[in-house]
Amino acid sequence: MDALRIALLVLHVGGMAVLLGGFGLELMGGTRRFSPVIFHMVGIQLLTGLLLVGVNEADDRDLDHTKVAVKLLIAFVVTGLVHATRKRDPLPPALFYGAFALAASNAVIAYAWT
Ligand code: HEM
């Protein structure tokens, strides 16, 4: 079970890097849309995050449920925004930067919330 947990954690942390990198690539390219990378990675983060919760619970590991609930809520909002507006190009700045900030705040919460 520990190997599975670590594999999921690697996917989850790697997914975070690719997701935030996807936003960075848009900025570097001077575009402002929810690219296919962003579109798919928000789903991967949601899926691997939920699987991590399951594996941690099955192993009787201590999880901070408030922290997980806040991350889940933020991830739901980002996923909803990205799915609802993925065809818009360019996106209104508030929408693009808002989704970027929310995704980044999930990474900050993961490390800073102790
Ligand atoms: C944009 C979305 C997300 C980002 C950027 C993100 C980021 C991260 C990062 C960087 C870690 C590693 C923390 C460490 O190793 O100390 C982590 C761990 C974890 N994440 Fe996420 N996460 C996201 C969404 C979610 C969701 C939706 C859930 C579940 C509902 C979730 C559940 C977890 C769990 C259970 C862990 C391992 C235990 C812990 O460190 O608290 N994550 N996440």
The model's pLDDT over 3-35, given as tens digits with 9 standing for 90+, comes to 999 999 999 999 999 999 999 999 999 999 999
Residue by residue, DSSP assigns 15-80 as: HHHHHHHHHHHHHHHT--S--HHHHHHHHHHHHHHHHHHHHHHHTT----HHHHHHHHHHHHHHHH
* pLDDT > 90? residue 110: yes
* Amino acid 67: pLDDT: 98
Query: What number is the average pLDDT over the span 56-68?
Result: 96
Q: Given the CA of residue 69, which atom of ligand 1 is nearest to it? A: 30
CA of 47 to the centre of ligand 1 (A): 11
Region 66-81: mean pLDDT is: 98
- The answer for residues whose C-beta is within 8 angstroms of residue 104's C-beta and 6 or more apart is 20
pLDDT over 90 (residue 99): yes
| Residue 48, domain extent | 2-112
Q: Using one digit for the tens of pLDDT, what is the confidence trace for 37-49?
A: 999 999 999 999 9
pLDDT at 1: 79
On whether the CB atoms of residues 41 and 18 are closer than 8 A, the answer is yes
pTM of the predicted model as reported, rounded to 2 decimal places: 0.96
Does the pLDDT value for residue 62 go beyond 90? yes
Give the Å distance between the CA of 96 and the centre of ligand 1: 22
User: Which residue's C-alpha comes closest to atom 17 of ligand 1?
Assistant: 110
Q: How many domains does the chain have?
A: 1
